[in-house]
Structure 1
Amino acid sequence: MLSQLNDDHSFYFRVFEKSPIAVALLSSDGKLLRANQSLCKLLGYSEIELINTSNSYVTHSEDLADELALWRKLVQGETDGFQIEKRYIHKSGTIIWGLQNVTVERNHQGIHPNDIFISHIIDITEQKKKEEEFKKIEELHNLISEHSQDVILRLTPEGVISYVSPAIRIQMGYEPEELIGKYAYDYWHQDDLNGGWLRRGHSDQSDSRIFVYRLRHKNGHYIWQESHSKKIRNAAGDIQHVISMGRDITERVHSEELIRRSEKLSLVGELAAGIAHEIRNPLTSLRGFMQLYLKEDMNGTKKLRNEVMISEIDRINEIVSELLVLAKPSNEAYELRDIVHELNHVTTLFEGQANLYNVQIKKEFDANLPLIQCQRSINQVFINILKNAIESMPKCGEVIIQAKQMNDAINIRITDTGYGIPQNDIAKIGNPFYTTKESGTGLGLMVSMKIIQNHKGTLRFESEIGKGTMVEVVIPIVMKP
């Protein structure tokens, strides 16, 4: 049977003709000797039209040089075959991509002009189209990533960063290459880690999620970020990587916090309006009787007890006074004031207490600061902040008061070297009756926040245990409606 097949040339030509792969027989000078039906169908020509044409006749001009270089090596015996991806020109003028494999059937040892070259061509046009589409998508992705203000991350299934867009410089202060290979969750705030699905050992069936969390900036502070994350799966359903697009929402979170505080203040104000006057009237009577008892205690045996009771009544009265400030709307007139003059006035008020606590007060004011539109109550803010600063340093310390213009606002910072506030408690500042002082009520800063809110400004705190606290007050120079 094998000998019959070897002798039956017609059999091989039938195989040649019926092959689903395009096949051509070529001479050493590149002329086409035979073309099977698949090749004719691929190029749109009949075999008669292709016979004796050179290979370059149907090859795209931009691919000729590469193919000819490989052809010369094959003809000269330097290689036994080559493979090349090249473009063919269809009879209609359209472009077809083909994967061409060329081998040689030599008639005897060495190079001979009668050597037959066999070319097998596989149509890879669709594959090339997909590659081109993928390339365009990749280029578009890179274009978006390089210019997007949002941070785009690509993570491994374990949460290791494999790509980060340049927007990371603005948002977190890092260069992109500083984060490559790092575990993304190492930069999350510890209290926000429970919400993550890339966390080691955590499973979640959803492929798309939105997270809101805090990220540690390179400078050490935290920013709020909202990210849209999607798991990318392969055909087997396994995660190849995760894409995350994150946006800085710190300002939005602060605005929402201001709204919550405003609602809280409004509620406290309503409560205060209902109870403050009712408390103050009996307090006045109680204090009067206590003073009478002091006078009747001729030998002073009850003096200590009575003085403690008067002190506590006065403390309740002070709380009621602060509640009344929250309860009534601010009807004070706004007028142009010199913020440096106001700060100097407040500093003078506390010189005696500062000396008692052995606290040094330093002032750093920019020259020629503009006047600002504000109410007289703005002094109460500085009084509350400076009082807290001095009382946070019962043995000794230093307070620095700074004032400078920043764009259309005055920035005032009061920094102490006191015992500081725990990070977890900073968000509670301004809550009713939250205080770090043994005898404090927490209403002083709540009132201060209301006053600053009335001035359309901001009040911000930074603190570290054992190092001190910085309170920043930002007040617009001219309030806009």
Structure 2
Amino acid sequence: MLRDYVQNYDPIFQHAVLGMAYISLHGTFIKINSALCDLLGHSQHEQGSTAQLDIFYQHMLSVIVKYGESLQSEHLAYVSIEQSIQCRDGRQLQVTIHLTIIHNDDSMPVHYLAQFEDHTRRSELESKLHMTENILRDIQNSYQQLLEKMPLAVLITKKGVVQYVNPAALRLVNAKEKSEVLGISTDTVVDISYHEALKERRRSFAEHQLLHPITYLINCLDGQQKLVDGFTLILSYEGETAAIGVFMDVTEQREKEEYMMQSERLTMAGQLAAGIAHEIRNPLTSINGFMKLMRSSKQSSETYFDIIESELKRIELIVNELLVLSKPQRNHTSKPLNVLPILDQVITLMKVQSALKNIEIIFNGPDAPLWIMGEINQLKQVFINLLRNGIDAMSSTGTIYVSVDSNDQEVLISVEDEGIGMTSEQIQKLGQPFFTTKETGTGLGYMITQNIIHNHSGSIQIESVPEQGTTFTVKLPKISKPED
């Protein structure tokens, strides 16, 4: 009789995708389908031999019987059981067992039909998700603790409005509570004199996704102003894109630097004063001596006039170069410049002077433009000084080679002469007031060149071999081609 009931369900039972089993009322397997064999990891021939399965899954079967008895007593149609099953191959399955009672024609319960719904994968994913959430929560807590304890000021902004400040940022703007800072605009914090730089930075990020380090003058809540250096990262904060700015108060550092620069200026002024006194005393002594000779002599000598004129020109040269040196080089207006036309103009200008000494100037540079930021007249002065030095270093005939090269960061301009060269000791002294290797030089020209290059954020390198020649290499920061 029981077999007849079972066979009536065979077509659905055998071909079901869901794992299914007929289980007796006292808790033994009657029959299992192929899908359940695959789920539990048993071979197909075990479908007909269920005695071993009864022993292995005894606990699960007892749970099914317990719930089955509840179905009968409470007259329920079915029940769902969440069950963890330990398979023979060691796997742990998380399944939902949908249990139904099969009745005979007399409405008497004859056995149970159990359908096994596997949600192991879903449980694993939920477990991993829960674990990931815990990890992210731990990271967020650690991140929050890191920000709170950082000695640098951290401000997080969204669309220019402050969303978070750490204790160091409160100290930076002289605030006592976070509520004093949260919600205010960065335009309020950054001084109006730096608003243009702030707008340019936002525009640069919108167009090129670049945020370079920046220096701002900020307004503190108590009216004090501070100078800060900082950088910005674009990250996610509370599920939205935000700008995380990290800043350091450099007011005191800049004041110390300014004090040191002022000390250096005073030292340089002392050196210049000593050099000027020495350089001008000699021609003045000569002029004074010849004036006395002329006064005591009844007839003036033309030679005396020539010597006096020569010494006066010497004083004029020193004064003119001092005036150039005294001009504020830092306050120049920089703009994008193609360095190649500048060199071409300077070489054309200097070829007239070089031709008088039978010296040839050869230029070698790329066809493509090389762009730098600078002030054109000051850079022309640099290249004129270097070419004039090369011409003066050669007695007669020879060649000066001007070459231009570049890498990803710099433009390199080299001026190589075939002159008398310099020793390492002489190279080290270059740039000192009134040190020169020329017979009639003052040494101030190279000081001017150094200052201009320094104020253009560049550097100058010297290589020289006595009696063979000298190469000056100017390195200037390279920029990308400006938009039209």
Q: Normalization by structure 2: what TM-score? A: 0.38
Q: Normalization by structure 1: what TM-score? A: 0.38
When Rg is computed on C-alpha atoms for both structures, the one with the higher figure is 2
Question: Which structure's residues are more often helix, by fraction?
Answer: 2
